Amino acid sequence: MNIEKELYDRSGAKCELCEVTENLTIYEVAPAKDGGADQHILVCKTCLEQIEDPDAVDANHWRCLNDSMWSQVPAVQVVAWRMLNRLRGEGWPVELLDMLYLDEETLAWAKATGEGTNQDEALRHIDSNGALLQAGDTVVLIKDLNVKGANFTAKRGTAVRGISLVVDNPEQIEGKVNGQQIVILTKFVKKSS
């Protein structure tokens, strides 16, 4: 069976991201190991253009990820994770990312660029003491921080549990303080042992 037929059968002849049925094409989710159907997804022209051109992204189009991120197909999960991370600044994708669970292998695939560059070296999140921060760590604030738009001050010594890393900025992490998801500069935290 060829890849195109497998993808049409698997998807029900719909875009696996937004469920559009017209102008469908095959998209290889890099880095692909063997080029099999499980490393490809069927996407519409709109999704493909926005995946390949970050400047052309229409955030409202990607609200479809609210449904497609639950796909059982790892390649769809990878693209959903990548697009939600690309759209973090919109606010609503952060909540979806918090709900999205990827097994270790799929998460590693989602974080890989497929371009042979070592992004881990370039995007290392380091605390005020030089310790490497990882998603899920607990950190402690080392100074009082005024939280813009939330009308409260995050006090020095506050523990922030289960942080997430801002994918495209190694100087920022996210975590909940007083029940609010906020962005925190890494220079204002220390990793809790």
Domain boundary among 111, 145, 176: 111
| 160 domain-assigned | yes
| 117 domain-assigned | no
Confidence band for 20, pLDDT divided at 50, 70 and 90: very high
Determine the straight-line distance between the first and last CA of the chain, rounded to whole angstroms. Answer: 53
Token readout for 42 is: 């069927």
Give pLDDT, residue 140: 95
Please determine, for residue 133, whether its predicted confidence score (pLDDT) is greater than 70: yes
Please determine, for residue 162, whether its predicted confidence score (pLDDT) is greater than 50: yes
| 167 domain-assigned | yes
Domain boundary among 89, 111, 133: 111
Query: What whole-number percentage of the chain has pLDDT above 90?
Result: 58
Query: What whole-number percentage of the chain has pLDDT above 70?
Result: 93
pLDDT in tens, 68-110: 999 999 999 999 999 998 888 788 888 898 899 899 999 999 9
Domain boundary among 111, 132, 157: 111
pTM: 0.60
Residue in the structure block whose two tokens are 């495209």: 168
Q: What is the mean pLDDT of the chain?
A: 88
| 118 domain-assigned | no
Please determine, for residue 119, whether its predicted confidence score (pLDDT) is greater than 50: no
Whether residues 82 and 144 share a domain: the answer is no
Lowest mean pLDDT segment, chosen from 10-24, 69-83, 123-137 = 123-137
Give pLDDT, residue 113: 65
Domain range for 172: 124-191
Please determine, for residue 149, whether its predicted confidence score (pLDDT) is greater than 70: yes
Whether residues 12 and 95 share a domain: the answer is yes
User: Total structural domains in the chain?
Assistant: 2
| 116 domain-assigned | no
Whether residues 26 and 64 share a domain: the answer is yes
Q: Which residues pair with 191 in a beta bridge?
A: 139
- Listing DSSP states for 35-74 in one string gives --GGGEEEEEHHHHHHHH-GGG--GGGGGGHHHHTT-S-H
Whether residues 87 and 160 share a domain: the answer is no
Q: What is the CATH number of the domain that holds 186?
A: 2.30.30.40
Whether residues 128 and 155 share a domain: the answer is yes
